[in-house]
A = this chain, B = another copy of it.
Amino acid sequence: MLNYKDKRGNLIILSGPSAVGKGTVLRALLKDYDDICYSVSATTRQPRQGELDGKDYFFMSLNKFKKLIKEDEFIEWAEVHNNYYGTPRSYVEETLATGKDVILEIDIQGAKQVKESFDEGIFVFLAPPSLEELKSRINKRGTETQEAINTRMKNATKEIEEINKYDYLIINDKVASAVDKLKSIIIAERCKL
């Protein structure tokens, strides 16, 4: 009798510089492909209109968040503009144990933390076709001052040097093609021996 082992799920980390389109690619993937769980982050910031607790974020008090940090309950966390954001370890662990894959969309600093605290992840770097294109995407958002744009570009240039620590590189030239590649990586990793 053949005996193919039931596999533990994979943790996929989708990262890349700010404004490269991580959120857009992830949303398109989840629309098209439901065989993966999105890792919902915890945050101390207030819910925005339409945001649902447990779907968009796990909303929690600063006290609770700090308690969970102490208990090593986040595989990564960060403070951004006085709000805390983090990835709950228990949700990730429990989902992987059932054999389901989990996907995490996260900035480069967060991905670095995951690499340290959770060695088994599959790290996917989403990169812009060029730095010029990235700048134009940041400009299009129209929400930033020139100084903030310059800082973002400086960070991006530095962050792209992190590529060689990743397992896969996807150039986000077209969303549909990037989604197709991401989906292929998820399916291929499941066939890995």
Contacts from A to B (Cβ < 8 Å):
1-2, 4, 124-125, 127-131, 160, 163-164, 166-171, 180-181, 183-189, 191-193
Q: Are B163 and A130 in touch, CB under 8 angstroms?
A: no
Partner of A188 from the list B131, B163, B185, B193 (CB cut-off 8 Å) is B185
Contacts of A193 in B (CB 8 A): 125, 163-164, 166-169
A-side interface mostly: mixed
26 sample A-B contacts, Cβ–Cβ < 8 Å, listed by A number = A2-B127, A2-B128, A2-B130, A2-B131, A2-B160, A124-B191, A164-B193, A166-B193, A167-B192, A168-B192, A168-B193, A169-B191, A169-B192, A169-B193, A170-B191, A180-B187, A181-B188, A183-B184, A184-B184, A184-B188, A184-B191, A185-B187, A185-B191, A187-B188, A188-B188, A188-B189
